[in-house]
Structure 1
C-alpha cells in the first residue's frame, strides 16, 4: 500500500535525477566482451570520477549510494561536510533533500484521502481556515488538489521566507501579500509554499504535526531510521 502511494507521488512530481556510471556484471566464468564502456571490475575508476566531479563543481563533500536490485554495491562518503572544516562526510551524514520531501506530502495527503479524512477537491480553507490568498476569490476556490499540482496562480515567492526564521504558520500567514502571476488553474507555477500549505492541511486533518506523520507513516514502515525530512 505504501509503495503504491510513493510511486504515485513520485510520478506526480517533476523530479531530476543524475546519471550514474554503468555497473559491470559479476563474472560468470566466460570471457566478457571488451569495449571502452565495460569496466574490468564493478565501479572501476569510480573514486577518480567522483573526485573529478567534486573538483569541477567545487563541491566540498558528498555521499554516494549505489544499489543494484536488493544489494548495496557502494555506500561511501567523499570530502568534508563544510568548506574549511576537516570533519569528513561518511555514509551516515545527513544532507538536505529539498523538494524530494514533496513526495512525502503528496503521499500523506493520498493516505488521508483513502481514510476519508481529506478530499482532493475540498477547499484548502477547510483545513487551513486562517490562510488567505491575495485574491479573496482564490482563497475560496483553491483546493487541496490545486496545492499539490502547482496551479495556484503564484510564481514562486520564495524570497518571502528565504533566510528568515519564520515558522510554517508565519509563512502561510504572509501568503496573502503575494500577488498572483496568473489566474488560478490557468498555468503551472512551481510552488514550495503551496506544498507547505498541503503539508499543514494534512497535519490538521490527521491531528498531528507533518514531521510526526512522515516518521510514522513513511519512514517507519520503510525502515528509514536515519533519513532527513527536508
Structure 2
C-alpha cells in the first residue's frame, strides 16, 4: 500500500496510508520527549512510557529482541478506555498485514509437501478470474499480479462494514480489469492475499485458520495468536481512532470476509518474537523457501521492488532488515527483523496511526552500533572550520600551524587568490555538525557553516600526523573548495604513535537551495 521513508520500505498492509487527516494527528503528537541517543533498555522503556502517557495514545505493547534474547516485553497504557484495564504483555491486538507473511508460509509449506507450486497459475484453482492463466501464486505473494486492491483508502468505507463471502470479493476485485500487465509492475494488493488464502484452503482441505494453527501457531508455542477472532472477544484490546486531534473513539471493525489471508491474524509482540526467531532460524520453512520469501522481486525493467513474500527487504546501516507494517480499523502494528544479529522490534497499538514514528526510532536505535570513529581531542570540527575560513578570507594565515613542506607550497599568491574568491560569500555566522564516520583510521566529520549569503559544507578529517601538511584550493567547479589540516592533541594515551592527531578539512560553498547530496553523507 504505502511506502515508508526509512529507506526501509515499510509496506503497510491493511495499512492505512494515514492520508492528510490521520497524518496530521501523528505529526502533532510526536513533539514530546527526547529519544535516547543509544539503545539502553531503561531509557527506551521510559521514552515509550512517556510517549503513551503524554501523547494521547491509548495503549501499546512492545517486544524488543537483541542478539536472540528478549530485552524488553511490556505493555503501556490501556487496552480499553471504558474499563481502564491496562495493556499486559499477553493482551491481544489485531496485526493487520503482518498476517501476510504467515499466509505466504502456509503456501510455501504446501509447496514443500509437493501439493502446489508457487509457479502454479491462478487458473489451476480459480479459472474464471481475470488473466488467471497468466498470473502465478508467486505474483500474488510479490504484489505483481495486477489485481486491484480492495482496501486502498484511509478509512472504513461503507462496503467494508457489510459482510462478504471471500469468493464474491474475488469475483468483484479479481474478476474485472487489471491495473497493469501481470508481472510488469509492483502495486500493493490485499486482493491477491485473499486469493492466496483461499487457494491454501482449497489445497489443504482445511480452513486457513486451522492450517495456521496446526502448522505454525501450536508448533511454535504461540499461545496468544489467533485467526479471525470475534471483535467482541475479551482477549482483544479495544481499537480506537482519532479524527483531526479528537479524543479517541471506538473504531468499527471490518465486517466478516474482508480480512482473511490479507490481515486476519490477532497476536502479541511476544508471540511475534517467537515467530521472528523461528523464521530466521530455519525452524519454519526450508532454506529454499526462506530464500524465496526474502528475495526482492525483480521487474522486467530491472527495478527491484524491495518486497518478497509478505516481507519488505531493505538494507539499513549495512544490515538486511525484513519487515512489515499492519493496520486494520483501530489497530497499528510493526514487525521488523535483523537476521544477521537475531534482533527484532515488534510494536502493536490499539489506535489507528498510534505508533507514528516510534517504530523507525526503535529500529534505528537497535541498528546503531558502537562508533568506530577515532576519538580526537582539540577544537571541534565546527570551530576549526570557522577559524580556517576566517584566516583565509582575511589572507592572514597562521603559518605556524603548517608543516615546512606545505608552507613552501602555500605561497602568498595562492592565499591572496583564495581570499579574493571567498570574500564575496561573507563570514559564517554559525557552523553546525552534520555527521561523523571513520575512514582510513581517521575521524571524518561533515559540518555546515552558514552565512547570510550562502550555506557551506565542510569535511574535516582528524588523522594522526605530526603537523598540518596540506591546504589547497580546488577549482574543479564554479564553487570553491578548501582543503586543509589542523593539528589536534590526542585524546588518550596510545592513540598516537608519533605526533598529534590532525584535522583535514574540505569546505564546499553551496547556495541556500542546494540539496544535501554530497557523497559520504548518510541518507
Q: TM-score scaled by structure 1?
A: 0.72
CA distance in 1, matches of 2:162, 2:133: 29
Which structure features the higher share of helix residues? 1
What corresponds to 2:345 in structure 1? none
Q: 1:97–1:228: 8 Å Cα contact kept in structure 2?
A: no
For 2:11 and 2:147, the matched residues in 1 are separated by 22
For residues 98-137 of structure 1, the aligned pairs below 5 Å read 98-129=96-127, 132-133=129-130
Deviation above 6 Å: which 4+ runs of structure 1?
A: none
The runs of 5 or more residues in structure 1 that have no matched partner are 1-13, 18-35
Shift of 1:75: 2.0
CA shift, 1:94, in A, is 0.7
Task: List aligned pairs for 1:1-80, cutoff 5 A.
Answer: 15=10, 37=37, 43-54=41-52, 58-80=56-78
Note if contact 1:146-1:185 (Cα within 8 Å) is conserved in structure 2. yes
Work out whether residues 139 and 183 of structure 2, in 8 Å CA contact, stay in contact via their aligned partners in 1: yes
Higher relative contact order, chain-length normalized (CA < 8 Å, sep 6+): 1
1:31-57 Cα shifts (integer Å, max 9, x gaps): xxxxx8468xx5223343113322575
CA pair 38-144 structure 1, distance change in 2 beyond 3 A: closer
Q: Deviations over 1:81-125 (max 9, x none)?
A: 234441221111111111111111111111111211101222213
RMSD: 2.7
1:140 aligned residue (117, 133, 136): 133
For residues 134 and 76 of structure 2, the distance between their equivalents in structure 1, rounded to whole angstroms, comes to 49
Whole-angstrom distance in 1 between the partners of 2:74 and 2:194: 32
Taking the aligned partners of 2:148 and 2:54, their CA distance within structure 1 comes to: 32
Q: CA deviation at 1:167?
A: 3.5
Question: How many pairs align?
Answer: 192
Please tell me whether residue 182 in structure 1 is matched to residue 180 in structure 2: yes
2:145 is the counterpart of 1:152: yes
Question: Residues of 1 paired with 2:11 and 2:189: CA distance?
Answer: 16
Task: Give the secondary structure class of the aligned counterpart of 2:46.
Answer: helix
For residues 168 and 59 of structure 1, the distance between their equivalents in structure 2, rounded to whole angstroms, comes to 33
- Uncovered stretches (5+) of structure 2, i.e. residues with no partner: 1-8, 13-35, 228-264, 266-523
Specify the structure having the higher radius of gyration (Cα): 2
Are 1:217 and 2:210 matched, yes or no? no
